[in-house]
Amino acid sequence: MRKELRKAIIAGNWKMNKTRPEAATLINEIKPLMQNNGCEVVVCVPFTALVAAVEAVKDTGIRVGAQNVHFEASGAFTGEISAAMLKEIGAEYVIIGHSERRQYFGETDETVNKRTKSALSGGLIPIVCVGELLWEREANITEEVVSRQIKLAFAGIDAADAAKIVIAYEPVWAIGTGVTATNEQAQEACKLIRDRLAALYGKPVADSVTIQYGGSMNAANAAELLAKEDVDGGLIGGASLKAADFGVIIKAAAS
């Protein structure tokens, strides 16, 4: 039982939602729902709302993250944002390789690896997303797919840096669909990821890494998912936009 060694992290992925005033309002609604329980709470907001979010979370313990980061430090990369730019405005986390970026914006295992390295060297905590498509699960290659994503995301990253990374297991078929993985499916995949990390870096590192589940996690199912031995937190989309629901999930991470 190593669960107590790991930091529980509940992160909201706001995706392309919320203007600056709306972001401040939602954060103000989340504030009173914070539990003093050692669970880290993160809101990953659109780039344009980062400054407003950093301002709004002052003295609350809530952390702010971005939803993507470029892998170069600067240069001719129109439309991109560097790790140093995010760090400078007070972001602490960054989501990398979300399935929507893999599906719609040409994100590959190689760019996930490059972005992860740039986040680490820029002092940001990467939340690296992995997960299989529905037809991959149906073809019984979930293990193969997730193992490959992990191996490539961590390529060339040493153990000290690997220990800083948060992984989000998000089965693509469960994202935004209302279909959640069963507690057993979530546990099985998170355990598989931990085993892969143990093979790459040894058990102490694997035991220390926070692995989140994501995909239609909500106020009703969070407690059961988070009770699983290898599920250390959640990456929450839809339910993170409703303060009351997000508050229930934060509370569930306490027990």
- Which residues would be at the binding site for ligand PGA (CB under 6 A)? 13, 170, 175-176, 214-217, 235-239
Which residues in 192-211 are b (16+ Cβ under 10 Å) and which e?
Answer: bbbbbbeebbeeebbbbbbb
Q: What's at 247, amino acid-wise?
A: G
In angstroms, give the least distance from the CB of 237 to ligand PGA.
2
Active site residue 72: no
In the complex, least distance from residue 73 CB atom to ligand PGA, rounded to whole angstroms: 27
Q: Which amino acid does the sequence have at 78? A: T
Q: What does residue 168 show for φ and ψ, rounded to 5 degrees? A: -115, 115
Which residue's CB is nearer to ligand PGA, number 120 or number 217?
217
Q: Give the residue ranges of DSSP H helices in the chain.
A: 20-30, 50-56, 83-88, 99-104, 109-121, 134-138, 142-153, 159-162, 183-201, 203-208, 222-226, 243-252
* Cβ at position 214, least distance to ligand PGA in Å: 4
Nearer to ligand PGA, 189 or 236 (CB): 236
Given 98, 100, 132, 136, which residue is catalytic?
A: 98
Q: Min. distance of Cβ 1 from ligand PGA in angstroms?
A: 27
Distances (CA, A) of 28 to 24, 60, 179: 6, 10, 29
Closest distance to ligand PGA from the beta carbon of 76 (Å): 30
Of 131 and 201, the one with the shorter C-beta distance to ligand PGA is 131
Closest C-alpha to 12, from 228, 240, 221, 200 = 240
Confirm whether 170 is a catalytic residue.
Answer: yes
Residue of this chain nearest to ligand PGA (CB atom):
237
The residue (of 13 and 113) whose beta carbon lies closer to ligand PGA is 13
* Catalytic residue (one of 40, 100, 136, 170): 170
What distance in Å separates the CA atoms of residue 194 and residue 207, rounded to the nearest whole number? 7
Name the residue nearer to ligand PGA (CB basis): 81 or 129.
129
Can you spell out the DSSP letters for 180-240?
PPPHHHHHHHHHHHHHHHHHHH-HHHHHHS-EEEESS--TTTHHHHHTSTT--EEEESGGG
**Contact present, 183 and 172 (Cβ < 8 Å):** no
- Annotated active-site positions, please? 98, 170
